[in-house]
Amino acid sequence: MSGRAGTRAIRASVAGAVQGVGFREATRRRAVALGVQGWVRNAEDGTVALHAEGSPLALDELIAFLHEGPRGASVAQVDVREVAVEGHEQFAMRGVSAGSFLVREHAARARHFDLRLEVAGAMRSWAVPKGPSLDPSVKRLAVEVADHELDAGTLEGASGGGAAIVWDRGPYEQGGRVPWPQALERGHAVFVLHGQKLRGGFALQRTRPGPKAQWLLLKRRDQHARDGYDVVAEQPASVLSGCTLEQVLAGADPN
């Protein structure tokens, strides 16, 4: 299939001794040199997966490289299929952490959750009143708030009539077709969380720009999606202390 005039798109899976030998980075360098857009990542089954978009000649050269691989790799099989052009604007390695994410449950003037993503040396932050969801049919309001420092907000406990717990945290990957932080500036950002409670693909979609911009936080449909499951209600405890917000408010020692 093709999208833009003269553009072809493929998905490829490379099997063999292809992980841990620099295959992803070598593929990224070759794709950039050829003017190809898309992504490459190490798959859970031990293969290297690839989506590539470009001219037919450039893709033929990239496929030839996949059959050969970099020094140290041993390619056993390359499966290639034609797919629709998605419109990527870069060629990126996926499966590489973009930094950390943090979700705090916070009781202050109003009870809410804080979602923070490490971006460009700061924690980009959103207040999510009802908390995140693993159900792809659920859309959660997320109000953008001021950035935080990287080491801010990791403590939990009661203070000044309020309280906070670290509800989830872990590394995350930037995803999507547009490089970060441009994706956030454009108002649609895709990312993959690797937390204890939140895993898999998520998206932030801006619905109202301006100060305290409003976004929707969405779970993407993947193997970690859980239809009808309320992760906030089912898993209320801190990933640090094991205390719930109610216990902290009641005076329990979270540490």
Q: Is residue 219 a contact partner of residue 136, using CB atoms and an 8 Å limit?
A: yes
Q: In Å, what is the CA distance from 7 to each residue of 53, 131, 253?
A: 7, 41, 60
Q: Answer for the pair 88, 14: CB distance below 8 angstroms, yes or no.
A: no
**Of 8, 24, 140, 169, which one is the catalytic site residue?**
24
Which one of 8, 28, 30, 42 is the catalytic residue? 42
Does the annotation mark 255 as catalytic? Answer: no
Residues 6+ apart with CB under 8 A from 182: none
Q: For residue 78, what are the β-bridge partners?
A: 14
Residue found by looking up tokens 């203070």 in the block = 159
One-letter amino acid identity for 115?
L
Element containing residue 37 per DSSP (H, E): strand 37-42
Do 58 and 34 form a contact (C-beta atoms < 8 A)? yes
Token duo for residue 123:
């924690």
Cis peptide before 129 (omega within 30 of 0): no
The runs of H, that is alpha helices, within the chain are: 23-34, 56-68, 182-186, 231-234, 245-249
The answer to whether 48 touches 28, Cβ cutoff 8 Å, is no
Rounded Cα distance, 163 and 253, in Å = 12
Strand residue runs (E) in 83-138: 91-94, 99-107, 111-119, 122-128
Our answer to whether residue 42 is catalytic in this structure is yes
Residues assigned a catalytic role:
24, 42
